[in-house]
Amino acid sequence: MKALIILDCQNGMFSRGNFEVLRNNILKLQNIFKSNGDIIISTKHIDNDKESIIYSGDISGLLDEQLSKLSNFIIEKDSPNIFKSKELNDILLNNQINEIVITGFNAEYCCLFSAIIASDRGYKVTYIEDATATVNNGNTYDMQDLDITDFVGCILDWSGEVEVLYFEEFSKKN
């Protein structure tokens, strides 16, 4: 059985750019997972820093309603490592999950860590590159022309440990 994990699709993230491709691809993935009887897990990063773009004390910290309404489970977290959550690990075990599909924010943090850790835990991992994004850019890391989402996808793909696909490739296989 598979689990679609939608990482941190919170209002504050969406306020930082145009993420319609990510949104549309996640919505289409949810339909595939629902029709196949697989589960959907959304995560919500809890941040108590009032300066954070996903501050938990206001609307910016709330999950995007459209992307979370089909979720079977919502997991709160405070680390890029979602596997620190006993609740998540219990859900995966109780639902006999053997494959995890990673989507959401931020490509270079939660998405990257989740993919690597899931692979290390023995799950088959698929990373949907055009269903992940970041609010950061190359300037954030003093690498002006860096396409962060593409870079993370390349690292994971070249590792041979994680299957990296675009939505269209995934949908043809499922």
In our burial notation (b when 16+ CB lie closer than 10 A, e otherwise), range 59-69 reads ebbebbeebbe
Angle between helices 148-159 and 112-120 (to 10 degrees): 10
* Per-residue pLDDT tens over the stretch 60-71: 999 999 999 999
Sheet hosting strand 99-104, strand order edge to edge: 73-77, 39-45, 2-7, 99-104, 124-132, 163-165
CATH class of 2-173: alpha beta
pLDDT value, residue 35: 97
Show the CA angle centred on residue 106, arms to residues 101 and 110, nearest 5°.
60
pLDDT value, residue 174: 87
DSSP state of 61: G
* Low-confidence stretches of the chain (pLDDT beneath 70): none
pLDDT value, residue 143: 80
pLDDT value, residue 128: 98
Phi and psi of 3, rounded to 5°? Answer: -130, 130
pLDDT value, residue 126: 98
Q: How far apart are CA 174 and CA 171, in angstroms?
A: 5
Q: Alpha helix (H) ranges present in the chain?
A: 11-14, 20-36, 65-68, 86-94, 112-120, 148-159, 167-173
pLDDT value, residue 101: 98
pLDDT value, residue 140: 80
